[in-house]
Amino acid sequence: MLVAGVAVLAVAGAVTLWIRAAVLVAVVRGPSMRPTYADGDRLVARRRRSVPRRGDVVVFRNPLPHGVPGSSDGPLLIKRVAAGPAEKAPDGMGTAVVPAGHVAVLGDNPAQSLDSRQLGFIPVENVIATVVRRLR
């Protein structure tokens, strides 16, 4: 009986590690993704395995250190991919196309969003996950 209990715990631990490696739960902070997502919404995101595509909502590393003027609260940001590598850059970006290995991201609420208009293009390796759905 003890061996069966240890086996169940081992399997449960392995499943937990697999889920943590594949899935991220991110919390929206601020109004930048309104009306799609509200401040405090919890999102399930699949850890990235490929280059995100235009329209994907992604979780990525904040390129500005916490405490720098203009930085957001926290190490991660959530935005929508507006353009991928070699695609036409969004208006106001000051360049014709997104460079290889980068994406342009914009908040759904552009008036209140820290995004590629201020941060520049985001390296694809800084994109951690793609949002799948909101947790209810």
- Tokens 């937990």 appear where? 16
Amino acid at 76: L
CA angle 93, 96, 97 (to 5 degrees): 95
What pLDDT does 16 receive? 53
What pLDDT does 123 receive? 96
What pLDDT does 1 receive? 63
Ranges of residues in the chain whose predicted pLDDT is under 70: 1-21, 66-73
Give the contacts of 6 (CB within 8 A, at least 6 positions apart).
Answer: none
Residue ranges covered by each domain of the chain: 23-134
Side-by-side strand order, sheet with 122-123: 23-27, 42-47, 127-134, 57-61, 76-83, 102-106, 122-123
How many CB atoms are located within 10 Å of the residue 62 CB?
18
Residues, the chain: 136
Report the share of the chain in percent with pLDDT over 90: 61
CATH for 23-134 (2.60.120.380, 2.130.10.10, 2.10.109.10, 3.40.50.720): 2.10.109.10
What one-character DSSP code corresponds to residue 88? B
Q: Is the dihedral of CA 40, 44, 48, 53 positive or negative?
A: negative
What pLDDT does 21 receive? 66
